[in-house]
């Protein structure tokens, strides 16, 4: 059989999701964001919720996410996406709202907003792309930067005495009673990508079912600022990020039952 | 036993030459071209098309969604 | 005539918000405006009109909740006092940049810093000149009575939606805490998504329907040429406001030799000062700007041809006086009299300042 006979619409098994726009992504070659965007488009398409999904993309590399997926978007200030999403979700209870945040955005400048939105159990999906570095501003230390990791502002490696410890914010989030599903995924192999897609689908289904906050961390690479090839960056992530940020579900239940709290004495 | 054969089409202009598809391929079908596209990237191509089984691994890992996959059972 | 009640200024903001069909209030407690959210929580409007009331974790979160809800086309309001408004400056700049309608109430207290919980008008510059980063303006309404606290909520929304621009009600602890009689507005129903699209155009991010492109609410534009065009469009909007939306009030100006200029609570003190001065035989008038932006430049310029001097009375170190000087020109003296730190000037002090600074008594 010749190539031209195989390349035929009847034999199609994988194509670009329809919800992805024709715009070329601004991300660096091999960036994990592109894969997560693709999964997001596929999940929204599969659940057929494009007419009621509103995305919030705050400052960071994904600030331009609105250029790539054919849904309504709001761009938010640095760290404030969970507050913006709260405003949308509270006044639009029939819509599906998600934020798409990086580690500097979510775990540093927006730490208060994410903790309180998750603690209130706002009905939304949080997609947290954690690559341990500030990508857009040129590779400075993030709250999630590993001890010893070299960045533009820790040229000799992150030093605990000077910079404090890397923050496992997802573990913190999992403690909060408003969250129902908290998971840590990655997108570095075909198998993990398929698994991450399932996690995203579950998170969006939870939002449709009004189960409170679902939180999907995607441990990712930033090969450009890690100063590695994309392939090497994936290996580095597996060797260094995974021991500290272990993939897997941290919580898979429902919002905490208010009845479980001790009632007031009078 | 039924044999599966496949083929991939890379959008040469959209490809950024990151090479992730090359290592994701279980059949060693893909390679990066010595030629560059108009943006200067060494875009991927099928150097060994007969080996393709249409598993879609390359397209799945592609961050720029520039690979389309076809598969036929014979 | 609507329902007549005796109410605090802050309580009236809450009542007016419910009645005008507001979709949500997001706020954070701060003296002297906490009664706004307290009243709302007590009224439980979610049962009555479906209005959402949420106590946020900070003023920063409040204003970004406003951003999110406003960007989905909703009619939303927040309130705070001076230090809280400083925290909101980031969000207000984004709201102005993304061209979203909302109403922000600032019940001013004395600053700088934590300052005092007593009333002040020291946020005039912050409110009328921007307050956050970038070239933007708020529509600024300055009520001088509890009745106007009621009236300016819906007026603020009308202007905010007309221009897709944030509107601020700039008041202070005097009017926020003061009880006066007020005629409450009639109820206006909240709008559905379809009504929002029909009434305001289909810019809101309330879900991309098959019949339109995706809507994107952003203040970001990396192309300098397009960014300059965005800025020019904003400036044209502000110019249109200056041409069409100026509101002010004049008292005893027809035969005035001297003019007092004051806004908000200071203007009430000045009304009494006008009477005291006239009893002394000094012909004084008062001009009260109601919109601080757009500023009533033209009426001030006209009165500058009539009077021998102007005294701008503010509870600050001299802020609006700069706008009055620009409007009046150099032909007559324009002086300032103010008290700070939460001290409210008396009418007698105003007349004294007028005599000393302008008449040379």
Q: Sorting pLDDT into bands at 50, 70 and 90, what band is A254?
A: confident
Residue C353 lies in a domain: yes
DSSP A256: P
Is C270 within 8 Å of C348 (Cβ atoms)?
no
A266 contact B CB<8A: no
Give me the number of domains chain C comprises.
2
pLDDT of residue C361 exceeding 60: no
Residue C130 is predicted with a pLDDT of 79
- DSSP string of A133-187? EETTTTSEE-TTPPTT--BTTBTT---HHHH-PPP-HHHHHHTSTTEEEEEEEE-
Kindly report the backbone phi and psi dihedral angles of residue C163, in degrees, each rounded to the nearest multiple of 5, phi listed first: -105, 0
**CB neighbours of C310 closer than 8 A, spacing ≥ 6?**
C258, C259, C260, C261, C300, C303, C304, C324, C328, C332, C333, C334, C335, C358
Among chain B residues, the shortest Cα distance to A194 is held by: B60
CB contact under 8 A, A73 and C91: no
Residue B9's H or E segment, with its range, is strand B4-10
Give the per-residue pLDDT at C211. 87
Give A247 to chain B, closest Cα distance, Å: 18
Mean pLDDT of C109-131: 95
Cβ atoms < 10 Å from Cβ of A1:
10
C122 Cβ neighbours under 8 A, 6+ residues apart? C82, C108, C110, C111, C112, C315, C316, C317, C319, C340
Q: What is the bridge-based pairing of β-strands C258-261 and C309-314?
A: parallel
CA-nearest residue of chain B to A224?
A: B18
Determine, for residues A80 and C70 on separate chains, whether the beta-carbon distance falls below 8 Å.
no
C58 with C148, same domain? yes
pLDDT at A40: 98
Quick check: ipTM above 0.90? yes
Q: Does C209 reside within a domain?
A: no
Answering whether pTM is above 0.90, one says: yes
**pLDDT for the residue A211:** 96
CA distance A214 to A249: 11
CA distance A189 to A181: 23
Cα Rg of chain A (Å, integer):
19
Residues C78 and C155 in one domain: yes
Top residue of C93, C100, C214 to mutate, by most chain A CBs within 10 Å, is C214
> What are chain B's partners, defined as 3 or more CB pairs within 8 angstroms?
A
Closest chain B CA to residue A233: B20
Q: What is the CATH number of the domain that holds C163?
A: 3.40.50.970
- Is the CB of A113 less than 8 angstroms away from the CB of C206? no
Rounded CA separation C30/C79 (Å): 9
The CA-atom distances, in angstroms, between A217 and each of A92, A115, A131, A251 are 25, 14, 10, 12
Tell me: do C32 and C115 sit in the same domain.
Answer: yes
Instruction: Report pLDDT for B1.
Output: 57
> What's the structural domain count of chain A?
1
Q: Is A74 on the interface with C (CB under 8 A)?
A: yes
A122 in contact with C at a CB cutoff of 8 Å? no
How many other C-beta atoms are found inside a 10 Å radius of the C-beta of residue C212? 11
- Tokens of residue A229, six digits: 């090839």
- For chain A, positions 28-47, list CB contacts with chain B under 8 A: 28-35, 38
- 3-class DSSP state for residue A122? coil
**Coil vs helix vs strand at C131:** coil
Q: For A82-110, what is the mean pLDDT?
A: 98
Nearest to A84 among C68, C207, C220 (CB): C68
Closest CA to A43 of A216, A204, A168: A204
Q: Averaged over C88-113, what is the pLDDT? A: 97
Only one residue has tokens 């079908």, namely B29
A1 located within any domain: no
pLDDT of residue C201: 80
Peptide bond into A239 cis (omega under 30): no
Using a CB-CB cut-off of 8 Å, the residues of chain A touching C208 are: 50-51, 70-72
Within a domain: residue A75?
yes
Which of B7, B22, B24 is the closest to A190 by Cβ?
B24
Tell me whether A188 touches chain C (CB under 8 Å).
no
Element housing C7 (H / E)? strand C4-8
Residue of A13, A19, A36 for testing the chain B interface, max B β-carbons within 10 Å: A13
Average pLDDT, chain C: 97
CA distance C7 to C4: 10
Residue C60 sits in the same domain as residue C146: yes
The ranges assigned to domains in chain B are: 4-73
Average pLDDT over residues A127-149: 97
Q: What residue in B sits closest to A41 (Cα-Cα)?
A: B65
User: Are 3 or more Cβ–Cβ pairs between C and A shorter than 8 Å?
Assistant: yes
Q: Which of these three, C183, C206, C237, is where a domain ends?
A: C183
In a domain, residue A263? The reply is no
Angle between helices C146-163 and C9-19 (to 10 degrees): 40
Q: Is residue C240 part of a domain?
A: no
CATH of the domain at C311: 3.40.50.920
Q: Is residue A2 assigned to a domain?
A: no
Work out whether strand A133-134 and strand C24-27 pair parallel, antiparallel, or are unpaired: unpaired
In the prediction, which pLDDT does C322 show? 98
pLDDT tens digits for range A38-59: 999 999 999 999 999 999 999 9
Looking at residue A91, the DSSP 8-state letter turns out to be H
Rounded Cα gap, residues A127 and A148, in angstroms = 26
> Tell me, what's the pLDDT at B41?
97
CB atoms closer than 10 angstroms to residue A173: 25
Task: Sort strands A53-58 and C179-183 into parallel, antiparallel or unpaired.
Answer: unpaired
Cα of C51 vs its chain's centroid, Å:
23
Output the DSSP codes for A17-65. Answer: -TTB-SSPP-SPTT-HHHHHHHHHHHHHHHHT-TTTEEEEEESSGGGGG
Max CA pair span of chain C = 74
Supply the range of the domain harboring residue C113.
Answer: 4-183
State the residue range of the domain holding A149: 24-258
Q: Does A246 touch chain C (CB under 8 A)?
A: no
Residue C68 and residue A74: Cβ atoms within 8 Å? yes
**What gap in Å lies between CA A61 and CA A81, rounded to an integer?**
14
The mean per-residue pLDDT over the stretch C49-68 comes to 98
Residue C360 pLDDT: 82
What tens digit of pLDDT does each residue of C336-359 get? 999 999 999 999 999 999 999 999
Burial of C153 (0-12, 13-18, 19+ CB in 10 A): buried
pLDDT at C158: 97
Which pair of tokens denotes residue C253? Answer: 């100006």
Q: Measured between CA atoms, how close is B33 to chain A, in angstroms?
A: 15
- Helix or strand (DSSP H, E) at C2: none
Angle at C313 between CA C312 and CA C317, to 5 degrees: 95
| A266 vs C95: CA distance, rounded Å | 44
Same domain, C158 and C291: no
DSSP β-bridge partners for residue C310: C259, C334
Q: What is the 3-state secondary structure (H, E, C) of C169-217?
A: EEEEHHHHHCEEEEECCCCCCCCCHHHHHHHHCCCCCCCCCCCCCCCEE
Dihedral (CA of A67, A73, A77, A83) sign: negative
Flag whether C237 is in a domain: no
Domain match, C277 and C177 both: no
**CATH architecture, range B4-73:** 2-Layer Sandwich (3.30)
Among the partner residues A73, A80, A116, nearest to C205 by beta-carbon distance: A73
The yes-or-no reply on B/A contact (3 CB pairs or more, < 8 Å) is yes
A·B CB contacts under 8 A: 93
Q: Is A90's CB within 8 Å of C70's CB?
A: no
Task: Please check whether residues C161 and C24 belong to one and the same domain.
Answer: yes
- Give the bridge partners for C117, in sequence order: none
A234 touches chain B (CB under 8 A): yes
Angle between helices C9-19 and C35-43 (to 10 degrees): 40
Per-residue tens of pLDDT for chain B, all 74 residues: 568 899 999 999 999 999 999 999 999 999 999 999 999 999 999 999 999 999 999 999 999 999 999 999 98
Q: Are residues C252 and C140 in the same domain?
A: no
Predicted local distance difference test score (pLDDT) of residue C259: 98
Domain final residue pick, C164, C183, C202 = C183
Phi-psi map region of C135: left, alpha, beta (phi>0 left; psi -120 to 50 alpha):
beta
In terms of domains, do C178 and C253 share one? no
B68 three-state secondary structure: strand
Give pLDDT tens digits for C268-287: 999 999 999 999 999 999 99
**What pLDDT digit, counting tens, does each position of A180-209 carry?**
999 999 999 999 999 999 999 999 999 999
Q: In angstroms, what is the C-alpha Rg of chain B?
A: 12
Determine whether the interchain pair B72/A11 forms a contact, defined as Cβ–Cβ distance below 8 Å: yes
Beta-carbon contacts of C204 under 8 Å, excluding residues fewer than 6 positions away, are: C71, C72, C73, C193, C196, C197, C215
pLDDT for the residue A258: 87
Touching A: C residues 70-109, CB under 8 Å: 70-72, 74, 76, 90-91, 94, 98
Residue C216, token pair as written in the block:
């994107």
Confidence bin at C313 (pLDDT 50/70/90): very high
């Amino acid at each position: 059989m010749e190539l031209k006979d195989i390349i035929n619409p009847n034999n199609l098994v994988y194509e670009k999701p329809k919800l992805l726009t024709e715009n070329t992504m601004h991300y660096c070659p091999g960036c994990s964001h592109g894969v997560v965007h693709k999964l997001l488009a596929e999940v929204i398409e599969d659940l057929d919720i494009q007419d009621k999904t509103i995305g919030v993309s705050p400052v960071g590399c994904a600030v331009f996410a609105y250029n790539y997926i054919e849904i309504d978007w709001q761009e938010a200030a640095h760290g404030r996406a969970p507050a913006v999403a709260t405003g949308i979700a509270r006044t639009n209870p029939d819509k599906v709202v998600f934020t798409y945040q990086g580690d500097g955005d979510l775990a540093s400048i927006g730490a208060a907003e994410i903790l309180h939105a998750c603690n209130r159990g706002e009905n939304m999906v949080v997609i947290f792309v954690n690559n341990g570095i500030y990508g857009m501003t040129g590779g400075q230390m993030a709250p999630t930067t590993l001890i010893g990791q070299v960045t533009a502002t820790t040229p000799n490696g992150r030093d605990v005495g000077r910079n404090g410890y890397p923050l496992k914010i997802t573990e913190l989030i999992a403690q909060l009673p408003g969250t129902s599903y908290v998971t840590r995924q990655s997108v570095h192999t075909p198998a993990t990508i398929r698994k991450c897609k399932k996690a995203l689908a579950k998170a969006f289904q939870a939002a449709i079912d009004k189960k409170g906050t679902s939180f999907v961390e995607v441990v990712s690479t930033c090969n450009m600022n890690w100063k590695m090839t994309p392939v090497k960056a994936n290996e580095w992530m597996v060797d260094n990020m995974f021991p500290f940020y272990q993939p897997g579900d941290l919580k898979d239940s429902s919002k905490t039952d208010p009845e479980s709290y001790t009632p007031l004495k009078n | 036993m039924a044999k599966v054969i496949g083929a991939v089409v890379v959008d040469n202009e959209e490809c950024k030459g990151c090479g992730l598809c090359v290592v994701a391929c279980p059949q060693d079908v893909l390679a990066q071209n010595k030629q560059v596209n108009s943006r200067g990237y060494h875009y991927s191509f099928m150097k060994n098309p007969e080996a393709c089984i249409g598993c879609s691994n390359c397209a799945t890992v592609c961050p720029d969604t520039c690979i389309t996959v076809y598969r036929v059972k014979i | 005539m609507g329902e007549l009640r005796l109410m605090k200024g802050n309580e009236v903001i809450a009542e007016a918000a419910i009645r005008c069909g507001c979709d949500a209030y997001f706020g954070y407690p701060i003296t002297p405006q906490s009664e706004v959210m307290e009243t709302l929580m007590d009224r439980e409007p979610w049962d009555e009109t479906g209005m959402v009331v949420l106590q946020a974790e900070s003023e920063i979160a409040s204003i970004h909740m406003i951003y999110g809800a406003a960007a989905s086309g909703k009619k939303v309001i927040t309130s705070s006092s001076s230090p809280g408004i400083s925290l909101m400056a980031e969000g207000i700049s984004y709201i102005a940049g993304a061209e979203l309608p909302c109403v922000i109430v600032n019940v001013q207290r004395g600053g700088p810093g934590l300052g005092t919980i007593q009333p002040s008008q020291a946020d005039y510059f912050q409110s009328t000149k921007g307050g956050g980063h970038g070239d933007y303006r708020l529509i600024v309404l300055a009520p001088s009575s509890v009745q106007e606290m009621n009236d300016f909520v819906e007026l603020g929304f009308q202007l905010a939606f007309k221009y897709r621009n944030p509107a601020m009600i700039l008041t202070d602890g005097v009017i926020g805490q003061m009880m006066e009689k007020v005629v409450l507005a009639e109820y206006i129903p909240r709008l559905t998504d379809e009504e929002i699209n029909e009434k305001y155009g289909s810019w809101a991010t309330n879900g991309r329907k098959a019949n339109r492109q995706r809507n994107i609410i952003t203040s970001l534009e990396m192309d300098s040429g397009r960014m300059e065009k965005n800025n020019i469009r904003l400036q044209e909007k502000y110019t249109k406001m200056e041409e069409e939306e100026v509101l002010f009030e004049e008292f005893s100006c027809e035969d005035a030799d001297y003019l007092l200029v004051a806004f908000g609570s200071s203007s009430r003190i000045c009304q009494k000062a006008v009477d005291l001065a006239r009893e002394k035989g000094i012909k004084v008038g008062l001009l009260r700007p109601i919109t601080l932006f757009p500023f009533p430049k033209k009426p001030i310029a006209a009165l500058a041809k009539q009077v021998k001097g102007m005294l701008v009375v503010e509870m600050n170190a001299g802020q609006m006086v700069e706008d009055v000087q620009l409007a009046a020109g150099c032909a007559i003296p324009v002086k300032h009299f103010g008290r700070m730190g939460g001290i409210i000037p008396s009418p007698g002090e105003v007349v004294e300042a007028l005599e000393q600074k302008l008449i040379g008594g």
